[in-house]
Structure 1
């Protein structure tokens, strides 16, 4: 892992890393997805004490992990080790919002959402409600 992380990831770091992973999952980080991440970090209560200077180092951690063969498994290990279970559905909701931000869900994004549901043990009914909310928030007229 990247030696620039001087301490374990905070819960907010985990949420940001998962959003970055979602954006990067299709090999292209779209502007709408980056705006969604910045908006979440800037406005949601869970990020009230988050240092936005952590965005770039967290992005680098995700990119470094994605360059490794088992990088996604390592990312999920970090998230499970550092994200309280009470924020698992929040993590999934944020990932759904990033995936929906550009108005199109790509196959790689759908696969990553499926993996997140599995890794964080998100109840299928709860996941469906979260997904529907994301879809509703990101419809265009």
Structure 2
């Protein structure tokens, strides 16, 4: 395991890790999803002081975790330990944006989003509003 998991993750690391996990969930990481993650890190205020060189390290951490039998549980453990509750809805919104970026939602992505909703203890109505916003932002002509 790389050294990023040896130290506490920043809230931004957690957001990046979650976006990468959603992208990897269908075992087909699409360019449009990677562009969405990079664009998100480059433009959202929550990432203003984030060193985007950490993205590749976070990707390595997520891939290492997902190769393990209980890797998703370990990822959620990292989120529980390092992501403040005030950012739970932000995390879900970013996860939904990455899932919607390619215009399709694979079954694996839908299952992971459901698990994320549960792990982040999001109100169902709030989650539905976040999902609807992601759909609206990524609608195609």
The TM-score normalised by the length of structure 2 is 0.98
Question: 1:113 corresponds to which residue?
Answer: 113
2:22 is aligned with 1:9: no
- Secondary structure in 2 matching 1:122: coil
2:84 is aligned with 1:89: no
In structure 1, how many angstroms separate the alpha carbons of the residues matched to 2:7 and 2:47? 18
Q: Which runs of 5+ in 1 are unaligned?
A: none
In structure 2, how many angstroms separate the alpha carbons of the residues matched to 1:3 and 1:47? 22
- Secondary structure in 1 matching 2:3: coil
In structure 2, how many angstroms separate the alpha carbons of the residues matched to 1:53 and 1:34? 14
- Secondary structure in 2 matching 1:52: coil
In structure 2, how many angstroms separate the alpha carbons of the residues matched to 1:54 and 1:88? 21
Q: RMSD in angstroms over aligned alpha carbons?
A: 0.7
- Secondary structure in 1 matching 2:53: helix
CA contact (8 A) 2:2 2:61 kept: no
In structure 1, how many angstroms separate the alpha carbons of the residues matched to 2:56 and 2:34? 12
- TM-superposed CA distance for 1:4, in Å, is 1.7
In structure 2, how many angstroms separate the alpha carbons of the residues matched to 1:19 and 1:65? 14
Aligned length, in residue pairs:
140
- TM-superposed CA distance for 1:3, in Å, is 3.6
In structure 2, how many angstroms separate the alpha carbons of the residues matched to 1:13 and 1:32? 20
In structure 2, how many angstroms separate the alpha carbons of the residues matched to 1:7 and 1:65? 15
Question: 1:58 corresponds to which residue?
Answer: 58
